[in-house]
Structure 1
């Protein structure tokens, strides 16, 4: 190839790159409504977060950001749909950590972290350990001692193998040396109902969903898995304070796009989301949901996702998790 031909090709490539930046980087995006997929039913914690955030994105961009609920297979269906979507910025996913958790424990999951571009980490959601009021304990230490003295008397609720409740509880079983039996349910609502009724004795769940029951003294919330106490549950100690430092576990909530989404679009979205996370009304709403605010841009979010994948791989190995697929 002659020098002139190589120079012409370089010029052509540079022109195309600048054209792409001009198209995607300024006021042209978004020029139509943006789909924001939630891989869970309406009304849950992720859905609430998505609606808080998209309301502010509407204002920031003067364009509609529409929440699309695509539940099924513990979030796999909606997440896989976004992995296969066109990388043009018009399909986004607000995720609860499925992007990193599922492939780490289920190698046959139809997506991998590399199938997504990190846009912005928003929050972490810890889980809280609750027992039915009939269990004669008031702390994690007492629960562990009671479990040792009464083997086989504690059943715990989960939404099935590989669910957050299953993974966290099985990890605690190993760390605390206790013998609890799993009772799987089709969803968190039925599981919580049976915990409240005393048909199961123990459950890890979103702190906010537990509060109405705890306030009526039908449940006792013993600890949260966050690094620090939650403003919504200031009287409840952390797992570390309760003698279980290995149970410092949160499930991230953030925005990702299909891999290959142009960097200028990712930057525009990330900047807008990080500004939204500074709004007092947004911060207050998320804290009321029991969330830990953790706003991060694309690069630190990518590092976070890599660390989270490695963490769940370690958890799966520790609890000897057997993949379902």
Structure 2
């Protein structure tokens, strides 16, 4: 039996096999991506919830891509400094932003905002959602949200609430509840969550909406009392704390999302590779478990769905800013 085309057929099979191998993603200069360390900008100080998320995800991303991922904290101006630095970075995949809801809130509350979440960035992956918990000092009389509202109405103008800054989501959450319940509260903005929590425990301010992570140790130790969470259902990490919906105000849901974004113009192949790696990371039980223990809800969304989410979120915050009247002070 003759096989006159064997050599040609074998050569074709080898060629097809080579062609079927995934081509390396190339960055600028035709070097395979990644070929050097990646920096991930966090627009907040070290030690907070956003910084923790960046370090957890960054360590896993480094292992997944085989290159160092360096966390760079560029804090200031309610996140604007770090966000603007990321927007100006070269769109080569070597500078990423651990973005938060502040990138969609800022344009809604501050006309001076010098970046656009949809024009200056390309979305990579939505990572997680962090709801708020309404807390008060354990020495303050109200022990439930209903009691707080009753106290506020009986003592108008005596409640001071803290936030992490003018135009912050914590302020917006408080102003929204204040408006819906018809309350007279005074806003006291701080430069960060740490000083606000310290003054809460000392009685300088009476209440605040906070991310879960910074106040969780104080809730567990009894120094701070949790009155309500802003989710539709109680959080597993605070299972005994009812929601705002369950107590006084249906439809009151507020949270603080986090995700990875890259400067506009980053090549689609690089964005796709980053998205694939991040989606894989956020499905790991160890990563999910750690973040959920800190009060986050893991909600990974791929690039296209994250893009739609951003557009919707910008519009949502504009509506909320209009309802609450929250605007950054000039």
What is the TM-score normalised by the length of structure 2?
0.88
**Residue of structure 1 in register with 2:208 after alignment:** 203
1:73 correspondence with 2:77: yes
**Residue of structure 1 in register with 2:97 after alignment:** 93
Which one of 295, 298, 302 corresponds to residue 293 of structure 1? 298
Q: CA deviation at 1:187?
A: 2.0
**Residue of structure 2 in register with 1:51 after alignment:** 55
Q: Partners of 1:308 and 1:291 in 2: how far apart?
A: 19
Q: CA deviation at 1:214?
A: 2.0
Which one of 250, 253, 256 corresponds to residue 258 of structure 2? 253
Which one of 175, 184, 195 corresponds to residue 189 of structure 2? 184
Q: CA deviation at 1:133?
A: 2.1
Which one of 254, 265, 275 corresponds to residue 270 of structure 2? 265
Q: CA deviation at 1:172?
A: 0.9
- Stretches of structure 2 lacking an aligned partner (at least 5 in a row): 1-22
Poorly superposed stretches of 4+, deviation over 6 Å: none
Give the alignment of 1:280-319 within 5 angstroms. Answer: 280-319=285-324
**Deviation per CA, 1:72-105, whole angstroms, max 9, x where unpaired?**
1111001001111111111100012222111121
Q: CA deviation at 1:208?
A: 2.3
Give the alignment of 1:232-247 within 5 angstroms. Answer: 232-247=237-252
Which one of 151, 170, 183 corresponds to residue 165 of structure 1? 170
Are the counterparts in 1 of residues 92 and 267 from structure 2 also a CA contact under 8 Å?
yes
| Alpha-carbon spacing, 1:323–1:153, altered in 2? closer, same or farther (3 Å) | closer
Q: CA deviation at 1:24?
A: 4.6
| Alpha-carbon spacing, 1:248–1:222, altered in 2? closer, same or farther (3 Å) | same
Q: Partners of 1:324 and 1:150 in 2: how far apart?
A: 27
Structure with bigger gyration radius = 2
| Alpha-carbon spacing, 1:151–1:257, altered in 2? closer, same or farther (3 Å) | same
Are the counterparts in 2 of residues 57 and 273 from structure 1 also a CA contact under 8 Å?
yes
1:23 correspondence with 2:10: no
Which one of 229, 232, 238 corresponds to residue 234 of structure 2? 229
Q: CA deviation at 1:323?
A: 3.6
Counterpart secondary structure, 2:246: coil
Q: Partners of 1:321 and 1:50 in 2: how far apart?
A: 29
| Alpha-carbon spacing, 1:22–1:196, altered in 2? closer, same or farther (3 Å) | closer
Q: Partners of 1:227 and 1:293 in 2: how far apart?
A: 15
RMSD of aligned residue pairs (Cα, Å): 1.9
Q: CA deviation at 1:107?
A: 2.1
| Alpha-carbon spacing, 1:288–1:175, altered in 2? closer, same or farther (3 Å) | same
Q: Partners of 2:75 and 2:328 in 1: how far apart?
A: 21
Are the counterparts in 1 of residues 105 and 169 from structure 2 also a CA contact under 8 Å?
no
**Residue of structure 2 in register with 1:42 after alignment:** 46
Counterpart secondary structure, 1:83: helix
- Stretches of structure 1 lacking an aligned partner (at least 5 in a row): 1-19
Counterpart secondary structure, 1:240: helix
Q: CA deviation at 1:170?
A: 1.0
Are the counterparts in 2 of residues 196 and 213 from structure 1 also a CA contact under 8 Å?
no
**Deviation per CA, 1:104-131, whole angstroms, max 9, x where unpaired?**
2112201001211000000011110011
Q: Partners of 1:155 and 1:323 in 2: how far apart?
A: 19
